[in-house]
Chains A and B, each alone.
Chain A
Amino acid sequence: MSKIGVFICHCGENISSTVDVVRVAEAAGELEGVAFSTDYKYMCSDPGQTMIKQAIKEKGLTGVVVGSCSPRMHEPTFRKACKEAGLNPFMCEMANLREHCSWVHDKSEATTQKAIDLVRTLVEKVKLNKPLFSIKVPVTKTALVIGGGIAGIQASLDIASAGHQVILVEKDPSIGGHMSQLSETFPTLDCSQCILTPRMVEVAQHPNIKLLTYAELEKLEGSIGSFKATIRKKAKSIDENLCNGCGTCTTKCPTKKIPSEFNTGLGMRTAIYVPFPQAVPNKPVIDKENCSYYQKGKCKVCEKVCPTGAIRFDQEDELVEIEVGAVVIATGFDIMQPSGFPEYGYGKYKDVITGLQFERLASASGPTLGEIRRPSDGKIPEKIVFVACAGSRDPAKGIPYCSKICCMYTAKHAMLYQHKVHHGKSYIFYMDIRAAGKNYEEFVRRAIVEDEVNYIRGRVSKIYEENGKLIVKGVDTLLSAKPVEIEADMVVLASAAVANPGAEELAQKMHVSYDSYSFFSEAHPKLKPVETNTAGIFLAGACQAPKDIPETVAQASGAASKVIILFSKDELSRDPLIAVVNRSPAPVFSTCVGCFLCASACPYQAIGEELITNRQGKVIKKVAKVNPGLCQGCGTCVAFCRSKSIDIQGYSNEQMCAEVVALLNND
């Protein structure tokens, strides 16, 4: 027999001015199973809470209903109070008499009646509440960071510095990512590598960070606190312990004409190579597709010249399994190849290049050692045209979204060009200048005013070659839409930032959702920007959407702090409002028939299998089982289960039914 206590709050006058709180308390007192009922000016105040605690103790209440403001406001407060009085906090419910009643209705009989109905409804619910206990999940305090760009580096360093183990996985031979390819960074124009490489070294030397380069995630199982990840370490064909990174092999390798990925094809590399001088780790790998030994079966020059005998042609991919408690995805972005835009002539004309290629041209470590020279003949371009939004904001042929970074780096490119080629002329075709960010607008202004970059608001319709010049045809929409033609020596396309080719596959491996552009989806666009909808997996950087460096670093630290918070406890404690599959005595064991349609409906892959065996260990039945670590308590499975075998604690079928019946039977 339940003994419910009902506490009606005046909320100063917020409720009492339109609701006859005294009558509500009286009416509640007459309800079956209500042992105590009262009203008070401020239930949330200290005396109010004390009143509740005393009643619980003195009357031995089995449940509490507080009729006051929205539970979204004070539910934690009153549940805490109950807990302190020795009552299970989940035996406390709130009737929303303020936001849903007194504030939205005028003073009247009907308003008071509604308040009574709401209270009665919650009383009937709380009668069926069961004591619940928050769920404990053990935490493996090792983080897996996928992607060694600035996002992954930042996240790893933060987590590691907090004293936790980090395993950083990078698919390329070196960490550094796109940032290591950049020349100078907006809005400060400090050299990208100068600020990045120290952090790369820090990663390599950090005692808490285990660096796995040339490796990729193969599989991810388990759930928050205890994931099991399988990593594929691709064969580098060298023994990293023996190799001392002297570089003899890379200089002696006869296959020298392979377009360098790092230099975006503007430079060449050898078959055994280190992507760039400051690479971390600074040890080479053999690119099997281009190595004449792997392709034709002879050469082995590197083996001959290697002083430490570190070359291993017979090396094979290795699969390593690791236990981690959290995952940070920091796989970054990719640049859309503008080949889908024949009118720009990219690929047809050597001197039409992408923004990333220009970064390499402008970079001191680049193929031209930082001199702006055009690919075709190495001449210094006198006139250069930059095309912003080359693919971005173009639903017809490109991508509908804004790539965000192009406005800034295009301004930077023009600036760098002007600084390096003083007599040169630079033009930027743009749609809008989006320079929202600290010191960003000022930066663009500088480009326009001090460096005299010519901004033309309009699109480019065609680029073609005519006697050695690139004719850029476009329109200037500000000059009464006049067509403009510029005879340029070089054209730079600010090609769109897109998701990495492998993004979808990776997302599916980890059961995190991704948007229609294959960027990873955050759990909530505003309030959970670094979480994914899968607990324990977090996002950092441009794998979630195009981002510049400051944003990326900030988000990476955000993701890291989420991981650190997660690791701050030995056990996870989660709200127990989750789904459970029922159990019943033999021979039924559970009314679940194992159709597992609930599993396909679950947004969190929280529903797995459980095999029920008899004493001899023979499987008698296969039923659904909810993983409490994954279940977020949405209850979709509950409404979906035909045999009502799965139910959700705190919003159980019995409770909801009782509420419906109570709410509609006020006579």
Chain B
Amino acid sequence: MTEFEPKIIAFVCNWCTYAGADLTGTSRIKYAQNVKIIRFPCTGRIDFMLLLKSFGEGADGIIVSGCHPNDCHYTSGNFHARRRWIMFRGLLDLLGIDVRRIQYSWVSAAEGAKWADIVNSTVNTIRELGPYTEYEKVAGYLEKEANQ
């Protein structure tokens, strides 16, 4: 059987991590295809509901990444984001949603290599964890109903 290829969605800010990922490209550093990026103006813009949606839509893992503290293009968007993540992560953990499936990181526009590393290590983590069947079961509830 073929190896499990995790679906991983990345929410990144335009000014640091998106640019950093661009640098990964211009430096021709290779990484796994599993991760696909969605571009946001700022980590402060990233709504926790979107992370939830991602799992609901079948994501096995999520990367959320933006500017290092004090580097935010908008001075404090990432600080607000960080607080939101701290609270959100705590809640998900209580609910048994596997927080190991969400990788948060700071990747600056200069850290092309770090981005590749984040992607690859996340892909490996999710590979080990396997497909997010628990959540898929919950999300696929309706379809199953229909099929029966």
Contact = CB atoms under 8 A, between A and B. Distances in A.
Interface of A: 70-73, 96, 98-100, 103-106, 108, 110-111, 113-114, 117-118, 121, 513, 521, 523-524, 533, 577, 601, 603-604, 632-636, 638-640, 648, 651, 653, 656-657, 659-661, 663-665
Interface centre among A99, A117, A638, A659 (most CB of B within 10 A): A99
B28 A635 contact: no
A601 B25 contact: no
Q: Give the size range of B's interface with the partner.
A: 35 or more
Contacts of A653: 47
Interface centre among B36, B46, B58 (most CB of A within 10 A): B36
B59 interface: yes
Contacts of B29: 104
A118 B10 CA distance: 12
Contact of B74 (A72, A636, A657): A636
A104 B24 contact: yes
Given A635-B45, A664-B59, A665-B58, A640 B80 contact: yes
B63 interface: no
Interface centre among B7, B29, B59, B74 (most CB of A within 10 A): B74
Nearest to B48: A639
Contacts of A521: 75
Contacts of A111: 33
A636 B42 contact: yes
11 contacts: A72-B14, A114-B33, A121-B38, A521-B75, A524-B73, A603-B74, A636-B80, A639-B48, A651-B45, A660-B9, A660-B54
B93 interface: no
A284 to B, nearest CB: 44
Nearest to B52: A660
B31 interface: yes
Contacts of A73: 22
Nearest to B27: A103
Contacts of B80: 601, 636, 640
A104 B31 contact: yes
B74 A634 contact: yes
The 5 A-B residue pairs with the shortest CB-CB distance, nearest first, are A99-B25, A635-B45, A636-B44, A634-B74, A103-B25
Nearest to A113: B33
A interface SS class? helix
Contact of B47 (A103, A110, A656, A661): A656
A96 B81 CA distance: 25
B145 to A, nearest CB: 20
Contact of B75 (A106, A113, A513, A638): A513
Contacts of A632: 74
A577 B40 CA distance: 12
Given A99-B24, A603-B77, A656-B50, A638 B45 contact: yes
Given A72-B18, A665-B57, 6 more contacts: A99-B22, A104-B116, A121-B38, A635-B40, A639-B44, A664-B58
Contacts of B77: 603, 634-636
Nearest to A657: B53
A649 to B, nearest CB: 11
A632 B77 CA distance: 11
Contacts of B14: 72
Contacts of B107: none
A96 B37 contact: yes
Contacts of A106: 30
Contact of B28 (A103, A113, A604): A103
Interface in B90-121: 116
Contact of A635 (B7, B37, B44, B48): B44
Interface centre among B9, B22, B31 (most CB of A within 10 A): B22
Contact of B41 (A72, A114, A634): A634
A635 B41 contact: yes
Interface of B: 5, 7, 9, 14, 18-19, 21-26, 28-31, 33, 36-42, 44-48, 50, 53-54, 57-59, 73-77, 80-81, 84, 116
Contacts of B31: 104-105
Contacts of B50: 656-657, 660
Contact of A661 (B23, B28, B40, B57): B57
A96 B7 CA distance: 18
Given A638-B47, A639-B44, A70 B25 contact: yes
Contact of B40 (A96, A108, A110, A651): A651
Given A72-B18, A106-B30, A636 B45 contact: yes
A523 B30 CA distance: 34
A663 B9 CA distance: 8
Contacts of A104: 24-25, 28-31, 116
A548 to B, nearest CB: 26
A109 to B, nearest CB: 9
Contacts of B19: 72
A663 B12 CA distance: 14
Given A601-B80, A603-B75, A634 B36 contact: no
Interface centre among B19, B45, B116 (most CB of A within 10 A): B45
B36 A121 contact: yes
Contacts of A71: 39
Contacts of A98: 25
A639 B25 CA distance: 29
Contacts of B38: 121, 656, 659-660, 663
A102 to B, nearest CB: 8
Contact of B33 (A105, A604, A638): A105
Nearest to A515: B70
Contacts of A96: 22, 37
A114 B53 contact: no
A165 to B, nearest CB: 30
A482 B36 CA distance: 62
A533 B77 CA distance: 12
A648 B18 CA distance: 19
A120 to B, nearest CB: 10
B33 A660 contact: no
Contacts of B23: 99
Contact of A114 (B22, B36, B40, B54): B36
Contacts of B40: 635, 651, 656
A634 B25 contact: no
Contacts of A118: 36
Given A603-B77, A635-B42, A639-B47, A663 B36 contact: yes
A663 B54 CA distance: 9
A117 B45 contact: no
Contacts of B9: 660, 663-664
Given A104-B24, A121-B38, A636-B80, A664 B7 contact: yes
A121 B40 CA distance: 14
A79 B80 CA distance: 32
Contacts of A577: 41
Contact of B76 (A110, A523, A603, A663): A603
A420 B105 CA distance: 60
Contacts of B54: 660, 664
Interface centre among A103, A108, A603, A664 (most CB of B within 10 A): A664
B49 to A, nearest CB: 8
A576 to B, nearest CB: 13
Nearest to A640: B80
Interface centre among B14, B29, B38 (most CB of A within 10 A): B38
A126 to B, nearest CB: 13
